[in-house]
Amino acid sequence: MRIIVTGSIAYDYLMSFPGSFSEHLLPGHLQRVSLSFLVDSMDKRRGGCAPNIAYTLALLGERPRLMATAGQDFDEYRRFLEGSGIDTSLVKQVDGTFTASFFCSTDRDGNQIASFYTGAMAHAGELDFAAAGPCDLAIISPNDPAAMVAYARECRALGIPYIYDPSQQVARMGGGDIRDGVVGAHIVVCNDYEFEIIREKTGLDADAMLEHAEAVVVTRGEKGAAIRLRGRTIDVPAVAPSAVVDPTGVGDAFRGGFMKGIALGADYQVCGQMGSVAAAYALEHLGGSSHTYTRDEFAARYEQHFGPIAI
Q: Which residues bind to ligand ATP, rule: CB under 6 A?
A: 167, 191, 219-222, 224-225, 238, 240-241, 244, 247, 249-252, 254, 275-276, 279-280, 283
Per partner kind, with CB cut-offs from 5 to 8 A, the member of ligand ATP, Mg ion, none near residue 126 is none
Residue 47 three-state SS = strand
Could you tell me if 139 and 185 are in contact, meaning their C-beta atoms sit under 8 angstroms apart? no
d(CA 310, CA 307): 10
Q: Which is nearer to ligand ATP, 62 or 252 (CB)?
A: 252
Written as one string, the DSSP assignment of 60-122 is TT--PEEE-EE-TT-HHHHHHHHHTT-B-TTPEEPTTSPPEEEEEEE-TTS-EEEEEE-GGGG
Report the half-sphere exposure of 186 (CA within 13 A, side-chain side). 15
d(CA 255, CA 251): 6
Closest residue to Mg ion using C-beta atoms? 251
CA distances from 77 to 72, 90, 155, 277 (A): 11, 14, 27, 25
Q: Which of residues 236-255 bind Mg ion (CB under 5 A)?
A: 251
Q: Which of residues 160-189 bind Mg ion (CB under 5 A)?
A: 167
Could you tell me if 229 and 215 are in contact, meaning their C-beta atoms sit under 8 angstroms apart? yes
Q: Which is nearer to Mg ion, 52 or 167 (CB)?
A: 167
Per partner kind, with CB cut-offs from 5 to 8 A, the member of Mg ion, ligand ATP, none near residue 225 is ligand ATP
* Interface pattern 123-162 for Mg ion (x via CB under 5 A): ----------------------------------------
Catalytic site residue from 246, 252, 267, 296: 252
Q: Which of 176, 189, 182 is nearest to 225 (CA)?
A: 189
The distance of closest approach from Cβ of residue 52 to ligand ATP in the complex, given in angstroms and rounded to an integer, is 8
Per partner kind, with CB cut-offs from 5 to 8 A, the member of Mg ion, ligand ATP, none near residue 238 is ligand ATP
The distance of closest approach from Cβ of residue 89 to ligand ATP in the complex, given in angstroms and rounded to an integer, is 27
Per partner kind, with CB cut-offs from 5 to 8 A, the member of ligand ATP, Mg ion, none near residue 279 is ligand ATP
252 a catalytic residue: yes
d(CA 217, CA 225): 7
Active site residues: 252
Contacting residues toward Mg ion, per CB under 5 A: 167, 251
